[in-house]
């Protein structure tokens, strides 16, 4: 590769002291997990989509694929995320609002109609009922004639951050951890190409954490999941290569690049030194990034295009494996087709016009970046040490330590904004007297009743005896140490709903309330 001036660009650059940080593709992977960075292929452009009905979301999937998206990312509505069916009284007014409503395998079939599941890589942002949605995805693939071992993608399945930052939990932490480990074990056997957890710092940052806290709490949660799997008898190198991470990308380009570099180095050392991982893939932190939703402003929303471009640049300069760029109008509503297309085009401009794909770790060796990387790592390690002393992330979450840290940080950030110490263009400086109207995406309210009717018709048409028998088997597994996913799959194949399967686990384990 060369610049437009004909200057050759090496796969990565070396300089004085570069040996101290290692090369891209080499332990501890500070400079990236691939020696050639994006030279052979760019990151996966995985735009997040989900709203209203399965049919409408399917249309958006096809639109984005036609416009050059290279991976699917699914948003589920709030009832689905909480393991509730669309006809549950608690779901009223929320069906299809923040994502797509999925109650059954029939809904999942509609969602992926016309999409070759053996070729598509699909990410699903789902946590408490992640195992249920993974099984629905498998069943849908099988209905398409796709063998489970051909299916690829990622489920978020990171329940610890729900207690700390996001709030979409169902069961108490310890049985939730059991379900996470069951899912990892099941996928190892049946879905070997699926990443069964995406350990997420994104929502921790959205809740108001600093970059240091995002880094520390994310990796501490990752350590808790690895420890739980090892304690359950899984060999670390049998599952760790399928672990993935999900980070936020904010406006301070240099700090964000350093954060991603520090995360890779810290994780590699943890896996080798704490868990004795031998497989190099177990030591590689691979991550998806999303631009910062909390940084978007309702004031002068077009300015968000610049913010998103900067954030996307930080993610790619930091070596993300996949990326979602937010729509400029998302402080107002779900993105319109126009906004979603511009968000995708932002990634395409970066990939093809910016030069970011020419060399790995382009900021490596910068005194500022290397100093920030070291400092972020040192401060994050101090926080992880505090969590370790408490007994790990599960205990720290149960005691509210992580939640308190995030809340304090969010309060300090708000005070800096109110005092004018931090400038947000259009909010506390450079404001317009009048804001132009921006067209926003609106959801047809009648779609909720259509989804409710569809779910009720499913219940009326199925073999209720077979469903009841299958749900009884799920309850028996919940009360034992049997892997839950096998009886759950049988129940879903018999047309049990998401809410019914999750309801059985609610009865067995109770619910969490902080």
CA distances from 245 to 202, 242, 248 (A): 9, 10, 10
Same domain, yes or no, for 323 and 190?
A: yes
Same domain, yes or no, for 342 and 468?
A: no
Contacts for 71 with CB less than 8 Å, ≥ 6 apart: 44, 45, 46, 120, 121, 122, 123, 322
Tell me, yes or no, whether 107 lies in a domain: yes
Same domain, yes or no, for 58 and 174?
A: yes
Same domain, yes or no, for 414 and 502?
A: no
CATH number at residue 360: 3.20.20.240
Residue 486, classified by CB atoms within 10 Å of its CB into exposed (0-12), middle (13-18) or buried (19+), is: middle
Last residue in a domain, options 381, 400, 419: 419
The pLDDT of residue 360: 97
Q: Which residue has the tokens 């880094």?
A: 215
The pLDDT of residue 19: 66
Show the tokens assigned to 456. Answer: 């009720």
Contacts for 432 with CB less than 8 Å, ≥ 6 apart: 299, 300, 426
The pLDDT of residue 21: 85
Same domain, yes or no, for 170 and 237?
A: yes
Q: How many residues does the chain have?
A: 514
Same domain, yes or no, for 244 and 110?
A: yes
Contacts for 169 with CB less than 8 Å, ≥ 6 apart: 127, 128, 159, 162, 163, 176, 512
Last residue in a domain, options 419, 438, 462: 419
Give the DSSP per-residue string, 185-240: HHHHHH-TTEE-EEEE-HHHHHTT--HHHHHHHHHHHHHHHHHHHHHTT--HHHHG
Tell me, yes or no, whether 431 lies in a domain: no
Give the span between the Cα atoms of 492 and 502, in whole angstroms: 11
The SS3 assignment for 123 reads strand
For 109-122, how does the pLDDT look when each residue is reduced to its tens digit (9 = 90+)? 999 999 999 999 99
The values of phi and psi at residue 144, to 5°, are: -80, -5
Same domain, yes or no, for 151 and 202?
A: yes
Give the DSSP per-residue string, 247-277: EEE-S-HHHHHHHHHHHHHHHHHIIIIIT--
User: Contact 32/264 with Cβ under 8 angstroms?
Assistant: yes
Give the span between the Cα atoms of 498 and 475, in whole angstroms: 14
Tell me, yes or no, whether 425 lies in a domain: no
H or E segment and range at residue 324: strand 322-324
Contacts for 241 with CB less than 8 Å, ≥ 6 apart: 279, 281, 282, 284
Same domain, yes or no, for 395 and 476?
A: no
Give the span between the Cα atoms of 66 and 61, in whole angstroms: 9
User: Contact 245/288 with Cβ under 8 angstroms?
Assistant: yes
Tell me, yes or no, whether 144 lies in a domain: yes
Same domain, yes or no, for 180 and 271?
A: yes
Q: How many domains, the chain? A: 2
Same domain, yes or no, for 408 and 479?
A: no
Same domain, yes or no, for 352 and 482?
A: no
**What number of helices (H) and strands (E) belong to the chain?**
20, 9
User: Where would I find the H helices in 51-169?
Assistant: 54-66, 78-81, 105-111, 130-143, 160-161
DSSP state of 164: I
For 385-428, how does the pLDDT look when each residue is reduced to its tens digit (9 = 90+)? 999 999 999 999 999 999 999 999 999 999 999 999 999 999 99
The SS3 assignment for 100 reads strand
pTM comes to 0.95
Tell me, yes or no, whether 376 lies in a domain: yes
Tell me, yes or no, whether 280 lies in a domain: yes
H or E segment and range at residue 419: helix 401-419
User: Contact 285/268 with Cβ under 8 angstroms?
Assistant: yes
Tell me, yes or no, whether 262 lies in a domain: yes
The pLDDT of residue 251: 97
Tell me, yes or no, whether 424 lies in a domain: no
The pLDDT of residue 68: 94
The pLDDT of residue 332: 95
| pLDDT digits (tens), the chain, 514 positions | 899 999 999 999 987 666 678 899 999 999 999 999 999 999 999 998 999 899 999 999 999 999 999 899 999 999 999 999 999 999 999 999 999 999 999 999 999 999 999 999 999 999 999 999 999 999 999 999 999 999 999 999 999 999 999 999 999 999 999 999 999 999 999 999 999 999 999 999 999 999 999 999 999 999 999 999 999 999 999 999 999 999 999 999 999 999 999 999 999 999 999 999 999 999 999 999 999 999 999 999 999 999 999 999 999 999 999 999 999 999 999 999 999 999 999 999 999 999 999 999 999 999 999 999 999 999 999 999 999 999 999 999 999 999 999 999 999 999 999 999 999 999 999 999 888 888 998 988 899 999 999 999 999 999 999 999 999 999 999 999 999 999 999 999 999 999 999 999 999 999 998 6
Same domain, yes or no, for 158 and 37?
A: yes
CA distances from 320 to 286, 287, 494 (A): 7, 6, 40
Domain hosting residue 459, numbered range: 447-509
Give the span between the Cα atoms of 131 and 124, in whole angstroms: 11
């Amino acid at each position: 590769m060369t610049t437009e001036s004909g200057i050759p660009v090496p796969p990565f650059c070396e300089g004085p002291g570069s040996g101290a940080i290692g090369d891209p593709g080499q332990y501890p992977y500070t400079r990236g997990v691939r020696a050639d960075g994006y030279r052979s292929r760019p990151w996966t452009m995985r735009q997040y989509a989900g709203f209203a009905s399965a049919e409408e979301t399917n249309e958006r999937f096809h639109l984005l694929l036609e416009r050059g998206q290279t991976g699917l990312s699914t948003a589920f509505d709030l009832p689905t995320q909480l393991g509730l069916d669309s006809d549950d009284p608690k779901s009223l007014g929320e069906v299809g609002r923040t994502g797509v409503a999925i109650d059954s395998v029939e809904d999942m079939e509609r969602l992926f109609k016309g999409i070759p599941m053996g070729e598509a890589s699909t990410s699903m942002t789902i946590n408490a009922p992640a195992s249920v949605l993974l099984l629905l995805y498998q069943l849908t693939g099988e209905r398409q004639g796709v063998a489970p071992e051909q299916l690829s993608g990622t489920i978020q399945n990171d329940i610890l951050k729900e207690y700390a930052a996001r709030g979409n939990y169902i069961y108490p932490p310890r049985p939730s951890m059991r379900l996470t480990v069951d899912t990892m074990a099941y996928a190892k056997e049946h879905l070997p190409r699926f990443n069964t957890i995406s350990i997420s710092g994104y929502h921790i940052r959205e809740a108001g954490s600093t970059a240091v806290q995002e880094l520390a709490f994310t990796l501490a949660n990752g350590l808790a999941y690895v420890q739980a799997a090892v304690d359950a008898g899984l060999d670390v190198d049998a599952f760790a290569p399928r672990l993935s991470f999900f980070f936020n990308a904010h406006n301070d380009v240099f700090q964000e690049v350093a954060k991603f570099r520090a995360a890779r180095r810290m994780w590699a050392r943890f896996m080798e030194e704490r868990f004795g991982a031998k497989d190099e893939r177990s030591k590689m932190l691979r991550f998806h990034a999303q631009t910062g939703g909390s940084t978007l402003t309702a004031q002068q929303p077009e300015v968000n295009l610049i913010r998103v471009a900067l954030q996307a640049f930080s993610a790619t300069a930091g070596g993300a494996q996949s990326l979602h760029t937010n729509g400029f109008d998302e402080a107002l509503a779900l993105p319109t087709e126009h906004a979603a297309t511009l968000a995708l085009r932002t990634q395409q401009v970066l990939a093809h016009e910016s030069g970011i794909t020419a060399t790995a770790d382009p900021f490596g060796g910068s005194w500022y970046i290397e100093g920030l990387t070291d400092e972020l790592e040192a401060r994050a390690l101090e926080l992880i040490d505090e969590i370790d002393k408490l007994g790990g992330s599960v205990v720290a979450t149960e005691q509210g330590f992580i939640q308190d840290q995030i809340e304090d940080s969010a309060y300090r950030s708000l005070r800096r904004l109110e005092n004018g110490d931090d400038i947000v263009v259009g909010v506390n400086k450079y404001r317009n007297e009048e804001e132009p109207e921006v067209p926003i995406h609106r959801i047809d309210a009648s779609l909720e009743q259509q989804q409710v009717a569809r779910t009720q018709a499913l219940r009326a048409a199925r073999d209720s005896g077979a469903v009841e028998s299958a749900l009884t088997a799920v309850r028996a597994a919940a009360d034992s140490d049997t892997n839950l996913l096998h009886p759950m799959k049988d129940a879903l194949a018999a047309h049990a709903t998401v809410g019914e399967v999750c309801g059985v686990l609610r009865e067995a384990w109770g619910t969490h309330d902080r």
